[in-house]
Structure 1
Amino acid sequence: MADRARTLLFSAIFYGLSVPIVLAAPIAALFGTRAIRRYSTAWAGLGLLLAHQILGIRVTIEGCHADGPALYAVKHQSMFETLAMATLLDAPAIVMKQELARIPIWGWVARRYGVIVIDRAGSAKALRAMMKEARAAVAAGRSVVIFPEGTRVAPGEMPPLRSGFAGLYRAIHLPVVPVACETGRVWSRNGPKRPGVVTFRFGEPIPARLPREEVEAAVHRGINAFELGPADRS
């Protein structure tokens, strides 16, 4: 009962505040791209702060960020890691499915922020557009975040990587940092959220320009570090 009450309180405050924040975002956008990125990062930070204060979710970090721009391949179990990556990596370009980018006002804000939109239908034209956006982000000195499994999964699930990851890796020539997490254990998709510690484990950077099978295998091991036993991680 306590978890459900905290979840309801968090939702009421966070989403209640998010509506006017998103509606006011076009005003922030008038001051330029840097302003809208700071504005968006502040919104993500608000979500993390409320998650800590209301839900009792704490964040710990293992490993280090890359020195300079990198492609971060992140395990995807909940919305929480999206908020966390926006703040931990200083407004990176996040690969986002097209459906989210079509949400009125919010989608416009996301594009102004500089997300990279991916079309799951996978047409050649859509793929070229994604690569163009990704190269523009790299040229601006930004890191890129992708959830290579393509959708949220439950704790313990280890699906294969979607093909979009390999295309992005090949196009932008950045080292890959796999990021493992277990956010789904405290941030349930449908049930109440629970207090606990969320650990983000940043793996060793994987060099650019490796063969597809090699980099996909290394990333799959890295993002599933909490699911795999020690013998399976090597």
Structure 2
Amino acid sequence: MRYAVALVRSILFWIAFVLMSSISSIGAVVSLPISHRATIFFVRIWAIFHRLICRVLLGQKIIVEGEMPDAPVLYVFKHESAFETIEQPMLFRHPAVFAKEELFSIPVWGQAARFYGLIPVDRDGGGKAMRAMLGAAKAALAAGRPLCLFAEGTRVPHGEAPPLRPGFAGMYRLLGTDVIPVAVNSGIAYPPRRWIKWPGTITYKVGERIPAGLPRDEAEARVRAAINALNPPEALLAD
């Protein structure tokens, strides 16, 4: 019975989400030559609608423990599912999110993403790609935008705590900005790569701000511990 209810809820969720994603993407692209603010508006409405249907159709409750100031700092999020990636434009007014390069080749969505100001991450692009990414990140900070990074590099099942990708250390050192780590346990109710979602509570737990300029090992250890604060304690020991 529980599975049948979740199945029906998930079908309704995906119908609503695909429809709204299509409308928002088209609206964002149509507004490209007209207004940057309009593009930001359409993206934000998309994220707000996603939060709404998670609550109403999936029966999910979202809790934020701590404060996430809309400030020019480097946010590092735990990455358990697509949930937290979709949420970014709602958590912040105009975040600069690091996203995989291949996502920008998606028709319509990719055009809107570039105009919105997402930062492409090309892991095979070498020094040139790294310089372009760093330049975009510095420009975002200068404009007062928060940077949002998923430092594990890919979606990780709940309960796992892999080492951070080397890219975090490079960004942390070269940008010279504070870091705010955020744990999230979305993988339980919103499991990755599975289209059936479940009712439950998804929690964001904001960690203590980590100052710029710390040694690499210390910064990585503190970030990794903080973003896994909602995982079982033994997760950090299973390397």
Into which bin does the TM-score normalised by the smaller protein fall?
over 0.9
Of the three residues 6, 11, 19, the one matched with 1:8 is: 11
SS, match of residue 165 in structure 1: helix
Task: List structure 1 segments (4+ residues) > 4 angstroms apart after TM superposition.
Answer: none
Percent identity reads: 42
SS, match of residue 43 in structure 2: helix
More deviation, 78-87/95-104? 78-87
The answer to whether residue 175 in structure 2 is matched with residue 172 in structure 1 is yes
Whether contact under 8 Å (2:100, 2:121) holds in the other structure is yes
Whole-Å separation in 1 of the counterparts to 2:52 and 2:33: 27
Could you report, residue by residue, the CA deviation over 1:19-74 in whole angstroms, capped at 9, with x for unpaired residues?
23212322222333232112211111111111111001111111112473211100
The answer to whether residue 217 in structure 2 is matched with residue 213 in structure 1 is yes
Of the three residues 83, 94, 99, the one matched with 2:102 is: 99
Whether contact under 8 Å (1:72, 1:176) holds in the other structure is yes
Of the three residues 64, 69, 73, the one matched with 1:70 is: 73
SS, match of residue 158 in structure 1: coil
SS, match of residue 145 in structure 2: coil
Whether contact under 8 Å (2:78, 2:184) holds in the other structure is yes
Stretches of structure 2 that go unaligned for 5 or more consecutive residues are none
Letter in 2 for 1:206: I
| Distance of aligned partners of 1:209 and 1:66 in 2 relative to their CA distance in 1, 3 Å threshold | farther
Whether contact under 8 Å (1:45, 1:83) holds in the other structure is no
Stretches of structure 1 that go unaligned for 5 or more consecutive residues are none
TM-score, structure 1 as length reference? 0.94
Q: CA RMSD in A?
A: 1.8
More deviation, 85-94/145-154? 85-94
More deviation, 50-59/33-42? 33-42
Q: 1:130 maps to which residue?
A: 133
Following superposition, the deviation at residue 228 of structure 1 comes to 4.4
Whether contact under 8 Å (1:72, 1:145) holds in the other structure is yes
Alignment of 1:19-38 (within 5 A): 19-38=22-41
Aligned residue-pair number: 232
